[in-house]
Amino acid sequence: MTLRVLAFLLAVLPLACREAPRGLVVANGDDVSLLHPQRTASISDARVLQAMHAGLTRLDPQTLSPEPGLARRFEASEGGRRWRFELRPGLRWSDGLALQVEDVERSWRQLADPSQGSPYANWLEGATIRTTPADPRDSTDGGSLEIEFPHPQPSFAEMCAFPALAPIAGHAPPEQVGSGPFRFVSRRVRDRIVVERNPFYWDAAQVAIPAIDFLTVDSQVTALNLFLAGEVAYAPNAPELAVPALLAERGEAFQPQPQFASTFLRFQVTQPPFDRLEHRRAFVAAIDPDALAASLGRVRQPAWHLVPPESPHWEPPPVPRWRSAPPALPQPAREQRFELLYNSSELNRSVAEVLQAQWLANLDLEVALINQEWKSFLAAQRGLDYQISRSSWIGDYLDPLAFLEIFHSESGNNRTGWSDAVYDGLIEAARGESEPEARRLLLREAERRLLDQAIIAPLYHEVGLELIDPRLEGLHRNLRGYIDWGRVRWSPEEPPS
């Protein structure tokens, strides 16, 4: 589809005004891989999980400040090393059974258990959890929970709004029973997941949308067409080709905004060819992020670092000097086959083709492009069954550590095979440092080492290209792409007809 044809369609197709069949329809992206809050690592999964599972806190959709959720009160002491949560009385699971403070404790212990395989197990590493059950004689008492960390966790209230820390029912699979504003109805693989309003949600009276259909739509062009036809009210990513026309013709629905997210390449460092530092550096030095961003329409900001510039009070380390030197790959390495793995999407294909061209031009190497659907791609990345892999990360909380901790050797989100005692020591020292400037310096040095060792190749910092029906209220653009589905509603002035 050419830009001229797309501009014409945008001009002649008004946003349809008929209501979605089940209240709200979302073009959710890749097929959901796991409906398990503690094991997911996909933003498509997270959007559904945020509807089905509630945390002890939730975030203000505009400011991203933590607010009471399942916990009616929370407080920190000792610089965030100790946290206390007081649960609301009368909490229930989506099947009507009682949700108690002991369920939170059990869920958190399960998350921290290495045998469970959660990529977020390190969030609770070394923590001590104590609970005080609700007093059955006091109808206003929901029980309380205290957690003590071996190091400060100043962002823990924000982290508690993330699905990984949501309580999980012990009597039913998390795919079917949760505590969020919506509850599971049905799923058709590679088609849709349907959820409906949960009458047992603690804030059920404020949930205005009767049901949500999360459609599997891995093509951004298809998602755009569905949005223009009024078949979906929200699509998380518009295609780059459509950006100029959308800005000109659909400003009420399309307002790009920076996100706390980065796209980069991972190198699998346990086997040849990228077990050698000089090979990784040559491939990184051959990449021109500025030219890549220009090829994508200059919507995204070229990245020379992993941590996005939106990180509060952050100053990145210098770009490694070797990045400015002409890239060179030793002759023996040229006899090997090189592959770049990426998951299916128009954007990812475009990025892969630009990188392929840059490596050919700067290294005189033909790199094979391997395309896989999301589930296979994720399995290959987690199993280290790749050489170079396209990757992206959106910060789970607004702190540089949200990006840098994923490359700790014990992180389930590492997915490179890299283990470095110096880097691990910097991350652990930063976790234990309560003085802000000293902590920033430790994290800055950690990023410098990550980049110098060429474990990743930063490509660009993400921009939210969300398409939002202007008649929706409560669905706000923000740095994290966070959506509180329980606060989304149709405007009373312009309800769909």
pLDDT of 494 reads: 57
Helix, strand, coil percent values for the chain (each to nearest 5) = 35, 20, 45
Residue ranges in 160-259 assigned as alpha helix (H): 220-228, 243-249
Write a three-state SS string for 179-191: CCCEEEEEEECCC
Question: Measured in Å, how far apart are the chain's first and last C-alpha atoms?
Answer: 31
pLDDT of 397 reads: 94
CB-CB contact of 127 with 148 (8 Å): yes
Considering the domain 259-463 in this protein, what is its CATH number? 3.10.105.10
- Residue 15: pLDDT above 60? no
Rounded Cα gap, residues 219 and 239, in angstroms: 9
pLDDT of 20 reads: 39
Name every residue whose Cβ is closer than 8 Å to that of residue 496 and which is 6 or more positions away in sequence: 17, 18, 19, 20, 471, 490
Band (pLDDT 50/70/90 cuts) for residue 6 is low
Q: Is 360 helix (H, G, I), strand (E, B) or coil?
A: helix
- Residue 227: pLDDT above 50? yes
pLDDT of 12 reads: 43
Rounded Cα gap, residues 290 and 407, in angstroms: 25
Q: What is the pLDDT of residues 370-429, one digit of tens each?
A: 999 999 999 999 999 999 999 999 999 999 999 999 999 999 999 999 999 999 999 999
pLDDT of 496 reads: 52
- Residue 28: pLDDT above 50? yes
Give the pair of three-digit tokens for residue 106. 């059990």
Band (pLDDT 50/70/90 cuts) for residue 333 is confident
Tell me, rounded to whole angstroms, the distance of Cα 64 from its chain centroid.
Answer: 14
Domain boundaries, the chain: 3-31+181-256+468-490, 54-165, 259-463
110-139 per-residue burial string, b: 16 or more CB within 10 A, e: under 16: bbbeeeeebbbbbbbeebeeebeebeeeee
Domain 54-165 has CATH 3.90.76.10: yes
User: Dihedral of the CA atoms 168, 170, 173, 175 (nearest 10)?
Assistant: -20
Residues across the chain: 497
Burial class (CB in 10 A: 0-12, 13-18, 19+), 348: middle
Considering the domain 3-31+181-256+468-490 in this protein, what is its CATH number? 3.40.190.10
Beta-sheet pairing, 368-372 with 182-188: unpaired
Strands (E), 255-360: 257-267, 301-302, 339-343
CB atoms within 10 A of CB 495: 11
CB-CB contact of 461 with 267 (8 Å): no
CB-CB contact of 53 with 190 (8 Å): no
Strands (E), 305-455: 339-343, 368-372, 388-394
CB-CB contact of 94 with 203 (8 Å): no
Beta-sheet pairing, 182-188 with 192-197: antiparallel
